[in-house]
Structures are given as structure tokens and as C-alpha cells.
Amino acid sequence: MKFRVLASLFVSALFFVSVNAQETTNDDIAQRIKPVGKVHVAGAAPAAAVGPRTGKQIYDGACVACHTSGVLGAPKLQVAADWQPRLDQKGFDQVWKNAITGINAMPAMGTCGDCSDDDIKAAIEYMIEGI
């Protein structure tokens, strides 16, 4: 007798659970498991347009660390003994190209991540001024 009561309760419970499960639609499931919020990852803010810069401004912002003290053989600011052999051997255009592509310990574009080729040229012209 106990077995029949337990069996009928079990079958009844199964019936009610299955009826309830059938009432749940895919839309209901999607509604329950949807994300709570959305994450918006913005890109880096664009750099402000700085306009044309002088060779001195570029030098002061990006070149000064190495070219003031001659770190790792970098030619020093307006020191003819450092610059003249390079200019005589390679010419200005090759020195400029080396600054753009990098040479020895100097990375491409030096440390100026936002410089154009013309900015690099202006910085070199400033560094060799008066030589």
C-alpha cells in the first residue's frame, strides 16, 4: 500500500513538472539567461591635433634624452664632431632615413610615436643647426 501511494505521488509530481516545463518557451529561457548589462569598451581617445611643431619642440619632447648626453653613441645636439662624420659619409637623406627606420640602439622614429617623417626631418635639422 505504501508503495502504491509513493508511486502515485511520484508519477503525479513527474506529470506536474513536465506540464510546467512544456509551458516554458525558448523566449522565456532567453529572457532568463540574458546578460544583466552590456559592457562598452571605448577605444583610446584620439590624440589632439597639435599642428606643425618646430624641430626644437620635437627635440625637447622626444630626442633630448639620448641626444643631449650621447647615450649609446647618439650624436649630441649641435656637436659637429658627432654629426659631421655621419653627414659626410651618408648624407643628410640617409641620416634622415635611419632616424625614420631606426639604427643601432635608436628605435624607428626615435621615441616620438606621433611624429611624421617631416617632424623627424625638422628635429634632425635642429640638431645639426650651425654645423
Write down the domain spans for the chain: 2-33, 55-127
Q: What is the pLDDT of residue 18?
A: 65
Instruction: Give the pLDDT of residue 20.
Output: 59
Single-letter amino acid code for the residue at 72:
L
Cα–Cα distance between 16 and 5 in angstroms, integer? 17
Local confidence pLDDT in tens for the 131 residues of the chain: 777 877 777 777 777 666 655 566 788 888 888 888 877 777 777 666 567 899 999 999 999 999 999 999 999 999 999 999 999 999 999 999 999 999 999 999 989 989 999 999 999 999 999 88
Determine the pLDDT at residue 23. 61
CATH for 55-127, options being 1.20.120.790, 3.40.50.1100, 1.10.760.10, 3.40.1350.10: 1.10.760.10
Cα–Cα distance between 85 and 120 in angstroms, integer? Answer: 20
Of the candidates 83, 77, 49, the residue with the CA atom closest to the CA atom of residue 62:
77
| pLDDT score recorded for residue 117 | 94
pTM score, two decimals?
Answer: 0.61
- pLDDT number for residue 115: 92
b/e per residue 36-72 (b: at least 16 CB within 10 A): eeeeeeeeeeeeeeeeebebbebbebbbeebbeeeee
